[in-house]
A and B are shown apart, each in its own frame.
Chain A
Amino acid sequence: MHALDFPPPRHHAGAETLRQEVRAFLAREVISRTPLLRSDSWNGFDADFSRKLGAMGWIGMTWPKQYGGHERSAFERYVVIEEMLAAGAPVAGHWIADRQSGPTLLKFGSEEQKQTVLPRIAAGECFLCIGMSEPNAGSDLAAVRMRAQPVDGGYRINGAKIWTTGAHYAHYMILFCRTSGSAEDRQAGTSQFLIDMKTPGVTVSPIIDMAGQRHFNEVAFEDVFVPASAMIGTEGNGWKQVTSELAFERSGPERFLSSYTLLVELVKSLGPAPTGRAAEAVGRLVAHLLTLRRLSRGVAVLLEDGENPQLQASVVKDLGASFEQELPEIARLLVSGAAGEKSTRDFCLVLHNTVLNAPTFSLRGGTREILRGIIARGLGLR
């Protein structure tokens, strides 16, 4: 057996029934979205859509019922999220909470935190953001300087987080920062907090990305007081908690399906009788996609079995990002026609949106370099 073995996908009868229900729902709810909007993928925000999804029971699916969850399998959740991605549904609102913040709270949160937040997340009414990166702590997360200073009854927090996706609509942030020592202490002395974004002293400012959109924010904390009960898990255990969370962040099909709309528009543009060159290029993308999906469903098996899929998830994310960055490079050479022409209008809009977002595919959620370092460590080289 090899360290990097992926279990085969496990058949789950209920998951395929569910798939048809999800498709019927999406056919109603996403039909009016233009290809360009769909190509925003999990960056697309629509609070009403998140609420409807919550009402269907498709957020927090694997969580215990006592916290608003539905106690369904990782395979059923997988079906829901891959169907959302393929349809270009606007899932950004609840995405981060469903994927990683909820599981983090379930694992490490206090009873009060779980009861306050999880049922609202599962209902699609409560959105979260993640405060990890700082101006001087990107890939090197252990270099965080932001500090929560113990004071009477709680902590006073000062500093700034950056590249915080969705901070402008999030109700809470899961903050990773220092509670003791200094940046030189690295992983030691770090903790996580659940921060209500309405707390006085928290200021959110927009950062506009290459596609002209606002997903990122800078979040400043100025003498922000939080009660001791805002701590998630144990003081000083932040690094361990955050790496467990990153395994969730990296393990999903959004790491190779976020530009799927471009493939759809490419196939539409090529029509029913593609040239040999076009068929070959699309076939190659399809072969990669089928392989990635198989690997990714293997990761779902590991999650269902309660194992840590960090290594396997890193492989899928690395391969997936390369695939997603190749896709626009290949697509642009196969379709001729300007953005102004009716027949290629949607293709061009989606292509441009994907080209402008592509650089981040191998940055967000762990850079290519970080992932390859993790894989090399898993193989015993580090």
Chain B
Amino acid sequence: MTETLRLVVDAATKAFADTFGPERLREAAHGAWLEEGWAVLEELGLPLALAPESAGGFGLDVEEALRLVGIAASHAVPLPLAETMFANHLLARAGLAIGAGPAAVVEGAAESGLLLSRVGDGWRLTGVSSPAPWPSSLSAIAVVVKDGATARLARLAPDHVTVGEIAATLTGHPCGRLHVDATLSTDDVASLPTDLPPDVAQRGGAALRAIGLAGAIQRVVELTTGFVSERVQFGRTLSKFQVVQHDIARMAGQAAAARAAADLAVEGFADFDVVRIAAAKARTGEAAGIVAAIAHQLHGAIGVTEEYTLHHLTRQLWQWRDEFGCEAEWNEKLGRLAMSGGGAGLWAWLTAV
């Protein structure tokens, strides 16, 4: 770990622990936007962690900065930090301006979509976007949109959009589509850099969720290990029961697999490599379900109360495994890619990852 990363990680870890206690998590789960919490993240500069130093970033490598996503997830930080880091990263890569405040990356909604067209010296963007987190609280929205054969990135301000119907989420955090009707200057629209794929919103989102899932899974294992080591029933701690030990071992195995998968997502983030991201999102999503189920079983009823952190961590796991493509979607994509070289070509394909 570099010295800069250590400083950032230590400061962030402490701030997450101090700021996002069970009471704050409970409020957010009821849909409240934690303005003071966001101010803490801004003060530490975390929303710019994936942006270059010239744009206000820490000068961390992308791989280093992504560590923060896992750490935030392990504290169930109920704010769109990863989404904002991603938006600022894309905006900076496309040469667009970055500002303060929460941000998100969206693309056209699946059925209706977004339409970008030239109007005089500027642009006009209309239509409906894919769901955005905390849609009424965003300061900026990065929109990936097709303009004929060219993929472009547009930067929207809150007054360019109206928030559509708020969707149900497992976390309780609001999420909704944006209805866009915007006239934009050339300063707000750029070509998507050619090294980025047109589905970068989906791939980037999936990579960040994979990293977040692994971080949260690790915390769930730690909470559960701690709980069974203290909770006494039948005259001994639960950890003394072999069946409990083996459940914990299973969780630890899934957590290790999730971390390895998240590492693939970290590696794949710079060029949004579809193979690494697909494997990462599918594998972490699968681990999330297994780990959440065992954690609740071992915690007994205490795990369900909203006053206990596990409640928020597992709701986050269940929400995130479905976002930006669930296991079925990514596995199918991965399967087709892996099978493209036939059975004889599979090994060379696997070892190239």
Contacts and interface: CB of A to CB of B under 8 A. Distances in A.
Interface of A: 2, 4, 6, 8, 19, 82, 86-87, 260, 263-268, 270, 272, 274, 276, 278-284, 286-295, 298, 312, 315, 318-319, 369, 371-373, 375-376, 379-382
B260 A294 contact: yes
B148 interface: no
Contacts of A284: 282, 286, 327, 331, 335
Interface stretch (B120-128, B192-200, B342-350): B342-350
Contacts of A265: 343
Given A278-B335, A291-B264, A380-B229, A267 B346 contact: yes
B62 to A, nearest CB: 15
Nearest to B222: A2
A82 B333 CA distance: 26
A68 B245 CA distance: 44
A284 B330 CA distance: 9
B98 interface: no
Contacts of A264: 343-344, 346-347
B259 to A, nearest CB: 7
B257 interface: yes
Contacts of A6: 256, 259-260
B8 to A, nearest CB: 17
Interface string B176-201: 00000000000000000000000000
A294 B263 contact: yes
Interface string B240-281: 001011101110110111011101100000000000001100
A290 B252 contact: no
B263 to A, nearest CB: 6
B353 interface: yes
B14 to A, nearest CB: 17
Contacts of B253: 315, 318-319, 375
B332 A286 contact: no
Given A4-B256, A287-B286, 19 more contacts: A4-B252, A82-B351, A263-B346, A267-B338, A267-B343, A272-B342, A274-B339, A279-B339, A283-B335, A287-B334, A288-B257, A291-B260, A292-B257, A298-B260, A372-B245, A373-B245, A376-B249, A379-B249, A381-B229
B129 interface: no
Given A381-B225, A381-B228, A290 B350 contact: yes
Given A86-B347, A270-B339, A292-B257, A379 B283 contact: no
A266 B346 CA distance: 11
Contacts of B334: 283, 286-287
Nearest to B267: A8
B100 interface: no
Given A282-B338, A380-B229, A287 B279 contact: yes
Interface string B309-331: 00000000000000000011011
Enumerate the 9 nearest inter-chain pairs by beta-carbon distance, A residue then B residue, closest first: A283-B335, A283-B331, A268-B343, A279-B335, A376-B245, A372-B249, A283-B334, A375-B249, A267-B343
A300 to B, nearest CB: 13
Contacts, number: 149
Interface of B: 218, 225, 228-229, 239, 242, 244-246, 248-250, 252-253, 255-257, 259-261, 263-264, 278-279, 282-283, 286, 327-328, 330-336, 338-340, 342-344, 346-347, 350-351, 353
Nearest to A82: B351
A292 B254 CA distance: 11
B19 to A, nearest CB: 24
27 contacts: A8-B263, A82-B351, A260-B347, A266-B343, A268-B344, A272-B339, A274-B335, A278-B335, A279-B331, A280-B332, A281-B331, A286-B334, A290-B261, A290-B279, A290-B283, A291-B261, A292-B260, A294-B260, A295-B257, A319-B257, A372-B250, A375-B248, A375-B252, A375-B253, A379-B252, A380-B225, A381-B229
A279 B327 CA distance: 12
Nearest to B333: A283
Nearest to A369: B246
A267 B257 contact: no
B283 A287 contact: yes
Contacts of B336: 274, 279, 283
A45 B255 CA distance: 37
A44 B253 CA distance: 30
A19 B350 CA distance: 13
A4 B335 contact: no
Contacts of B245: 372-373, 376, 381-382
Contacts of B286: 284, 287
A381 B248 contact: yes
Contacts of A267: 338-339, 342-343, 346
Nearest to A288: B283
Given A372-B246, A375-B253, A282 B283 contact: no
B337 to A, nearest CB: 8
Contacts of A260: 347
Contacts of B248: 375-376, 379, 381
A320 B210 CA distance: 21
Given A4-B255, A318-B253, A286 B228 contact: no
